[in-house]
């Protein structure tokens, strides 16, 4: 990777990561306050309807955004054209969700979900505009400018949610926070993104981009459906509280990985797309991304798994303590997500979105077998299918990279192996410290210090390449400031 490319990717990654961290940091604080004010059952109700809204949102946001970013010559008319396509789709999808709300309530045998679903799904219409704004930001690498707007949006929507919870609105506090977050973020983005929709529309350009986007859309639909089906079945066959505990176990690991994955995809995809005709350059970018992302993600997820019990007890109180095993399992599962993400971004960037759909077709039968067996056993068994399937999915996602980019299984596994082995060492050193006869705050501090020390010492002793790479970057940034 050339120095200019590295600086461009790194600069974009840092600002996108900073935006995600600040946003999710505020979200984490808000969620902790709300979890103390509300009951697991109330979280479970929102989780039930969120499954359908998240799936519906794929029709509005997926495919359209990818087509705009992948198009190296995208102009204002392309953005406007896709906006009208996205808006039309959002209205259609919202109408379907609105009409389906009574059936969703009947499916869960909870009549109150009907109105909740119809209000919650209003976010789909706002997303049709926001998704084009985000595509414009990614296409022009304007991540630095979105930092403040995202932070303010998260903060203000958090205030809305906490106020409603304190005022006794119950589950509606979660709905209010969610919708206000999307509205405020969209308004804030409007002050930064110079693009505005006009009356222009090109059917020819829409056809060309949607042909590419259709494969991404279908791939994302299949992926999202199977991602949410665990929660759908838990909500159907178990209680809202069971679903809430399962979801809460996802929350903190997903905070770590969503920040890294979103930053990676937002920066790698547009940058790789600029070199879609240079296979060797894309391969080099992939290798660096896998080494660096695995070095970071394995470390953070290992620490999170180790400190999960005292952390949940300290932040959320004992009423959420049963989510700890789920959290630990999901940390293991999410370790492999960054590698899968890098591979998929690379395949999209070279215009082979058809390969993504093929991958989903081959991966999902295995997923179905896992889930159908586990859901008849327990919620914990469902959770255990996640790391098993994540490893299988990662290996499958590596396959097109071997064929199209010459990046073999052996090379990819060699790139992520050092971080994996060091994370095992971190767990072996830090986890036994949870049994120390001291308070939760001290246990968390001691475990984190032990984990960090172990990781750094192992990195230095083994001459870890990613450690040296990150250290050089930090030194370079500090020198510029001085």
Q: Which residue has the tokens 């990613």?
A: 466
Nearest residue to 69 via CA among 331, 326, 308, 268: 268
How far is residue 260's CA from residue 254's CA, in Å, rounded to a whole number?
Answer: 10
The DSSP code for 318 is G
pLDDT of residue 18: 61
pLDDT value of position 31:
83
Q: Among all chains, which residue has been given the structure tokens 């006869």?
A: 437
Distances (CA, A) of 1 to 44, 90, 470: 46, 39, 15
* Closest C-alpha to 282, from 340, 357, 342: 342
Chain-centre distance of CA 422, in angstroms? 24
The per-residue pLDDT for 263 is 57
149-179 burial, b if ≥16 CB within 10 A, otherwise e?
Answer: bbbbbbbbbbebbbebbeeeebbbbbbbbbb
Other CB atoms closer than 10 Å to residue 313's CB: what's the count?
A: 16
pLDDT mean for each 10 residues of the chain (482 residues)? 51 57 74 86 88 85 67 71 84 93 91 92 86 73 67 86 92 92 85 77 72 70 78 89 89 76 57 64 79 86 93 90 93 86 76 73 85 92 91 86 82 89 93 91 94 93 83 67 56
**pTM score:** 0.72
**Alpha-carbon 175 to chain mean position:** 20
381 neighbors 374 (Cβ within 8 angstroms)? yes
Phi, psi of 234 (to 5 degrees): -65, -45
């Amino acid at each position: 990777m050339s120095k200019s490319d590295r600086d461009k990717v790194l600069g974009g990654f840092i600002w996108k990561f900073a935006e995600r961290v600040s946003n999710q940091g505020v979200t984490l604080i808000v969620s902790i306050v709300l979890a103390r004010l509300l009951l697991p059952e109330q979280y479970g109700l929102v989780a039930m309807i969120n499954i359908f809204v998240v799936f519906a949102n794929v029709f509005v946001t997926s495919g359209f955004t990818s087509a705009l970013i992948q198009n190296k010559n995208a102009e204002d008319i392309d953005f406007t054209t896709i906006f009208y396509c996205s808006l039309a789709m959002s209205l259609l999808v919202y109408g379907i969700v609105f009409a389906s709300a009574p059936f969703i309530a009947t499916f869960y045998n909870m009549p109150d979900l009907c109105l909740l679903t119809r209000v919650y799904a209003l976010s789909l219409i706002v997303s049709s505009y926001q998704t084009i704004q985000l595509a414009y930001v990614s296409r022009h690498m304007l991540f630095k400018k979105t930092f403040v707007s995202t932070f303010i949006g998260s903060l203000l929507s958090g205030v809305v949610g906490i106020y409603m919870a304190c005022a006794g609105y119950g589950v509606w506090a979660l709905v209010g926070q969610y919708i206000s977050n999307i509205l405020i973020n969209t308004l804030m983005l409007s002050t930064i993104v110079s693009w505005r929709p006009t009356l222009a529309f090109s059917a020819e350009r829409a056809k060309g981009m949607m042909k590419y986007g259709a494969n991404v859309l279908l791939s994302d639909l299949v992926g999202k459906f199977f991602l949410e089906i665990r929660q759908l079945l838990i909500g159907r066959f178990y209680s809202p509280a069971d679903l809430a505990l399962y979801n809460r176990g996802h929350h903190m690991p997903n905070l770590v990985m969503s920040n890294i994955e979103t930053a990676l995809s937002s920066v790698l995809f547009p940058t790789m797309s600029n070199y879609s005709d240079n296979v060797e350059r894309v391969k080099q970018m992939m290798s660096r991304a896998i080494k660096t992302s695995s070095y970071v993600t394995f470390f953070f997820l290992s620490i999170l798994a180790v400190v999960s019990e005292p952390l949940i007890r300290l932040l959320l109180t004992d009423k959420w303590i049963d989510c700890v095993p789920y959290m630990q399992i999901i940390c293991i599962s999410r370790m492999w997500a960054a590698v899968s993400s890098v591979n998929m971004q690379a395949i999209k960037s070279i215009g082979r979105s058809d390969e993504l759909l093929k991958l989903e077709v081959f991966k999902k039968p295995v997923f179905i077998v896992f889930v159908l067996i586990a859901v008849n056993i327990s919620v914990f068994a469902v959770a255990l299918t996640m790391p098993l399937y994540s490893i299988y999915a990662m290996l499958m996602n590596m396959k097109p990279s071997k064929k199209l980019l010459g990046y073999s299984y052996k090379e990819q596994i060699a790139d992520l192996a050092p971080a994996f082995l060091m994370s095992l060492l971190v767990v072996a050193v830090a986890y036994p410290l949870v049994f120390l006869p001291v308070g939760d705050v001290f246990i968390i501090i001691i475990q984190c210090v032990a984990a960090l020390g172990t990781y750094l010492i192992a990195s230095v002793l083994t001459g870890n390449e990613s450690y040296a790479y990150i250290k050089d970057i930090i030194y370079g940034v500090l020198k510029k400031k001085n």
